[in-house]
Each structure stands twice: as C-alpha cells, then as structure tokens.
Structure 1
Amino acid sequence: MRLVVLGCAGSFPSADAAASGYLVQAEAPDVDGADRTWTVLLDLGNGALGPLQRYGDPTALDVIAVSHLHSDHVADLIVLNVLRRYRPQGACDQVPLYGPAGTAERLAVMAGKDPATTVSEQFDVREWAPGVSINVGPFTLEPVEVAHPIPAFGIRVTGPSSLEPGRSVTIAYTGDTDLCDGVAALAAGADLLLAEAAYVEGRDDASRGVHLTGRRAGLVAADGGVGRLVLTHLVDWNDPQVTLAEARNVYAGPIDLAAPGAVYTL
C-alpha cells in the first residue's frame, strides 16, 4: 500500500502546493482474479486536480473519501466532475463518494449552474456513519468523528502491505481536527499518521477545537504508538521547521513534512 501526496497546503493553496488531496493505492486482484491498482482519493481541495492528473488517473478512482466540507478539502471535486463527465471518450461511471451529512447539497451549491443532478451523475454520494467501516477492493475505510467547527471525520484506511506480503497496514488521516478522543482512536496503532498541523504553539493557543499544532500532532502520534508521522495542512505563513521541531520534541519516531508528489510505501 502506498500514500501519494497531491496537495498539502493548509486553508488555501500555496505558491508551491495545492490544498489537501491524497491517494492511497494498492495492487490486488479484481473480481476476475487479475491484479490491478485500487485507488482511494482522500479529499480534493483547491488546485489538487492538477497533481491528481500527474500522479493518478482521475477516471480510475474506486472511492472518494471526504473528511469535511471546507473548500480547501473539497473544492476541486467540482472540476473533477467536469473532467469525468465531459471527456471526449464519454462520461465515466459513477464513483462512490463518502462524506459528512450534507455533502451532496454542498457540492450542488459549489457547482452553481451545473445542477445537483449533474454532479450526481459522477458521484454516488453517501454519508459516513460514525464507526461503520466500508470495504472497497482490498481496502477497509473507517470514519472517526473528530473536533472541528463543522462536522468532520478522520479516516483510517487499512489494506495490504507492499513491503511484507500477507500483512495489513493502516494509514490514519486526521482531516482537520484538534485534540479529542476521536483523533486518539484514529491514530491508535497506525503504521502512518497523516496529521494536519496548521497551528503553532503559543501564537494560536486561544483557538481551540479547530486545528492541531506540530506538538499536538506529535503527542497524538506518541500516545498512539504510530510508526511514522507525516505533517500536512501546512499553512503558508507558518515556518514548517518550527512545526517539525514542535513534533520532534514529543515524538521520537520518524517524522516528515508532507510535500507534493511524496510517496510513502508501507
């Protein structure tokens, strides 16, 4: 299984990175027994459709998993709909899209003159049920409610290891959250924790219930026994080295700053 970073900028695209978007992929048999690449798309924020075309195939997604409905996590789903619906070869088949309650309505509003019925031609929108897992090919996706000003979920993706045949591995994606019971449960035992870290200790202490800092992401990783921590949702006005140092002060395992095009193979 591998994680591909499409975009990792927080709140808005930076000059060098799109907003949040990630692929989780694995090779496994299809129903006919032939191996193929299975693909989960986690979020698709502003600008992330561009790198999706570079690092993946927008017409070959098996499921889309949406953490929450802020634009920096979903805006490019509208133009993904355009790509999939109007391509010269003909419209793609529907892809299942899981998100919080209200996802279909939110996409319809963002689409504007492209009505809800058009968006639903490409996206079979379904609502997360907290604690209820879904299975897609070799993957199990588990949504976990987390703390953010609007309904939000972290997502655990479990699938086959690419490095150790016969072993299952788990990537835990926080979406946007502050410390809470949910994010602790999300991270527990994960092989890789993809954790947002938009805030900075000291400067943002008064704003709780919104985002993690590097330190708080590190604490989640340490308490959860996580194998690797990847810090993402990095806001352009922050110094990423400060965020990295905060995490390193509390978590002794390997830590990376997410970067567009980075690939993590588990």
Structure 2
Amino acid sequence: MTQPIIRFEGVSKSFGAQAVLRDFSLDVAPGAFLTIIGRSGCGKTTALRLVNGLLTPDAGRVLVQGEDVAGTDPVALRRRIGYAIQSVGLFPHMTVEKNIAYVPSISGLEGWKGAQRQEKAAALLRQVGLEPELARRYPRALSGGQRQRVGIARALAAGPDILLMDEPFGAVDEITRGQLQDEILRIHRESGITILFVTHDISEALKLGTHTLVMDAGQVLQYAPPSQILAQPASPFVEQLVCRSREFQVRE
C-alpha cells in the first residue's frame, strides 16, 4: 500500500479559546489534487499551514513524506513545499525573474545564477502560460492574472513535491479564473505534483480535484472523489453545497 505523502493524525489546533481543528485525521496520496472547501473559519487555511510548519498542532501529528513536521528542519521542509496565496505577495522592487528565483536563491540551490537563472525562470513562465519576455518586468506592470501565474511559477521554482494553494484565484475576474484553473490542471497532469487547494467555490473544488474535502467546525464532513460527493452527499451541509453549485465539468 502506498504511503500517504501527507498525513494528519488526530490533529487539534486552537487560537485562544477558539478551537479551529478538532481531532482532524486525513491521508493524502502522492499525486493527488485535493480541493478543500468549507465555511470561513472551518480550519482550511490552518490545515495548509500545519503542512509547511507555519503553525504547529496543539495535539496530534502532521507527517510529510513519513516525517513528523515538528521534528523537521523548517527550511528543508519548505524547499519541498510550494506555497501560493490569493494576495500573491510578489516583491514590488524585484523583477519577475528575481521573484521567481527568490526561494531557490535563498535556499542555496545550484543553477540559479546568471544565464542559468534566466533559462529556468523562462521555462517556469512558459509552464504557467506566460511569455518569457515578462521576466524583465516588475509586478506593477502585470495584470492580476499575470501576477497570479508568476506566483505559481515562484511556488514551483524549487521543484517541490507538494504545492499548497490558498484561494489563489479568488481575486481575479471570472474569465481569468477559468484560464488559471485550466493551467493548474495542466500543470498537475504534466508534473504529477501533489496539490492541496483551498477554495470557497464548490464548482471550482469539484472541477479541479481528484478528491474533495468538505470541512465544517474543524472536522471532516466528507472526503471523496467529486463524482461521489455529487452522487452521495454525506450530510445536509454537503448537499447544500452541491445544490448551490453552478454547472461545471467534473474531473475524471
């Protein structure tokens, strides 16, 4: 049996008196595209940040590739995990090329200087559907959709095994959002990278995911392929989500 690339074992996490995750357990298979949906405050983003060590659990364990995150060097861990968020967070004083190269450069990875850096940045721009000529521009000269694509390129730059995405397409228009969804599906199919993708949009969750996790109050309500969630909602809350969804193409 294949070992999960990510495992949550009875994880609980609170902020002050507010319990965000409660005895949360989940296995994510290598190469999965896991979409995570639920109400605001249900623990979606907290779960992501536990994976790359930005947060630590109050109880339980999070394992990445069989190693307890609590005992893993955080720098080494984050070299293996890309992170893309809605606000993108590009450095405005750096060119697109330097933004993409930032994590590999500070991590001391080889091949990220001079002409090699240019070649690798250009290849990543092509991978996310952008022209390499954009490498010389600054973030202010890009559209919202272009900045999101650069953010994904930066998250992929160190060759991670896992990509965490926290509502990465939430701030762009509907047409651009659809294009970005298609791009991330293509990247997943071509690379086989494991993706955890937080969204508030049930249509997006069901379109993108090989599996979808529905959360509420810090717990798992349903964890299944999109087709099963559509056919057999596990609770009234899941059924409400499905009923509110727009027309979409469910991923095979």
TM-score scaled by structure 1? 0.31
Which structure is higher in strand share? 1
Which structure is higher in helix share? 2
TM-score scaled by structure 2? 0.33
Relative CO higher for 1 or 2, CA cutoff 8 Å, sep ≥ 6? Answer: 2
